[in-house]
Amino acid sequence: MSELLPEPDVADASASRRRGLFVAGWLVSALAVGTGAGFGVLAAIGPAKAKDAATASVPVAPPTTPSPSVTSGVRPDGTHYGSVKDFLLPIPDGYKPGPDEGGLGNDAAIPPDQADPTVALLFGTLPPSDMTNAQGAITNGHMNDGAVRTYQNEAGTLDVAVTVLRLDPAQSAESTGQFERVVKQSRAFRTGPQVPGHPDALCVLPVTHVGDPLDSMTCLATVGDTLAIVNAVGTVPLDTNAVTELFGRQLDTLKGGLGT
């Protein structure tokens, strides 16, 4: 009589409208998939009993949830695929969802046909001629996707809106360069602080008046085929360090992606 040997078993509005809204508000583990190995040892008890014993001794692995497929990311050449909204910085510690950024909302996609209104909203203080040039730069870049998300600090003294526009890779560098020149050379702004770790980012502040309880700042930078813009409004003195820190984190996210 032959003996069965053990077998292993392996288991495997514009700026002013936004300022007005702010004043009103101011006043009033990665998927863990466990793997293990089990070994059933069968005695020489006959074919039928051996089969039953093997079934009873082998642990049944619990069903696992399949890993989500990657739907967005950054290519080696710096261009992005997937929805631009996937690249917006998640609400960080110390912040909560902010108010609507004009008619864009506070966490929404921006369709290509809203490119001009978006530029007008974010850069409402530009003179008409500068506004035309700024909008023309985005038009020339053939924007194909965009998104906006807003953040408010816990104290309610700072609102920050981040807008990201994705352009045609073949036109993005020229388009965003033209856009930045218009903003930088406009007399509507004064030069703002640097963004740590991102020397090419540009921050500008509007002309302010003595006694104004609010201040604002706008920063922009190009990352691959995207133009990122942060628009912040807060009580005087404006916490520019908080704004540039958050914007820097957004730029890092655009460079490396969120892996979603």
Tens digit of each residue's pLDDT (9 = 90 or more) over 22-36: 544 443 333 333 333
Q: Are 220 and 202 in contact (CB under 8 A)?
A: yes
Mean pLDDT of the chain: 80
Indicate the residue type of 234: G
Tokens of 97: 């969802």
Q: What is the pLDDT of residue 254?
A: 97
* 240-255 pLDDT per residue, tens: 999 999 999 999 999 9
Q: How confident is the model at residue 156 (pLDDT cuts 50, 70, 90)?
A: very high
Say how far apart CA 98 and CA 151 lie, in whole Å.
Answer: 4
* CA dihedral of 202, 190, 233, 151, whole degrees rounded to 10: 0
State the average pLDDT over residues 146-173: 97
Say how far apart CA 10 and CA 3 lie, in whole Å.
Answer: 22
Residue 39 pLDDT > 80: no
Q: Tokens 């399949």 appear where?
A: 66
Residue 89 pLDDT > 60: yes
Q: Are 238 and 19 in contact (CB under 8 A)?
A: no
Tokens of 177: 């360069």
Angle at 260 between CA 242 and CA 78, to 5 degrees: 75
Q: Poorest-confidence range of 14-18, 90-94, 111-115, 235-239? A: 14-18
Who has greater pLDDT, 143 or 62? Answer: 143
State the average pLDDT over residues 33-41: 29
Q: What is the pLDDT of residue 71?
A: 86
Q: Are 145 and 112 in contact (CB under 8 A)?
A: yes
